[in-house]
Chains A and B, each alone.
Chain A
């Protein structure tokens, strides 16, 4: 069974721009969660989508948004990029959700200059 895939793997953007990241979950998984990982803050939960609905949300500003499609693929969008948004963005998929076993993708490394 194929694992979680994320595209692109690396991205360089300029402050003020917006960016969209994509995640394809493991086949059959309806839950996709997004995380931000930085050296300073560690791994932090952004939000979870389950069957196209946002079910859980972490403590991030509204510039961070997401959506999920009927095939469970998910996208995350960050608008008005700030230097502090430079991070590894990880998505994870699960059969049941964030309270259960999750499987992470390789991440997208975003650099904001």
Chain B
């Protein structure tokens, strides 16, 4: 079992839909959780960063962390064709400057007009 599981998709939705992207993890030591968006042939772009259970909202994006269930989600409201990209979850464990980040394999999202 991989430390971080993420459905590769593709996930195809109509413009305006609410999108839900998810990752599960097995390592309870993960403390910091991130979501990145990666367009084709580009580097990942940080969307959300959180370290506590609960919800964090930023514009159309909401990140949700449930440490008890080892489950994180990213919700995108009013999805746009420009949101079509691969979404990567990432998690980091460690302390005192010693950290190892682990990424999910990414979910491909297609938002069609």
Contact = CB atoms under 8 A, between A and B. Distances in A.
Contact of A43 (B92, B97, B103): B103
Contacts of A98: 92, 99-101
Contacts of B49: 100-101
A74 to B, nearest CB: 15
Contacts of B43: 4, 90, 92, 104-107
Contacts of A27: none
- Secondary structure of the B side of the interface? strand
Contact of A97 (B44, B90, B99, B104): B99
A86 to B, nearest CB: 15
A80 B43 CA distance: 26
A34 to B, nearest CB: 11
A96 to B, nearest CB: 9
A63 interface: no
Interface in B73-112: 88, 90, 92, 94, 97-106
A107 B105 CA distance: 17
Nearest to B105: A42
Contact of A45 (B36, B44, B97, B101): B101
Give me the 8 closest cross-chain CB pairs, A-B, nearest first: A104-B43, A99-B99, A43-B103, A42-B105, A98-B99, A104-B44, A99-B92, A106-B43
Interface of A: 4, 33, 42-45, 48, 50, 55-56, 58, 90, 92, 97-107
Interface of B: 31-32, 34, 36, 42-46, 49, 88, 90, 92, 94, 97-106
Given A42-B103, A42-B106, 16 more contacts: A33-B101, A43-B88, A43-B106, A45-B101, A48-B99, A50-B97, A58-B100, A98-B99, A98-B100, A99-B99, A101-B34, A102-B34, A102-B46, A102-B101, A104-B44, A107-B42
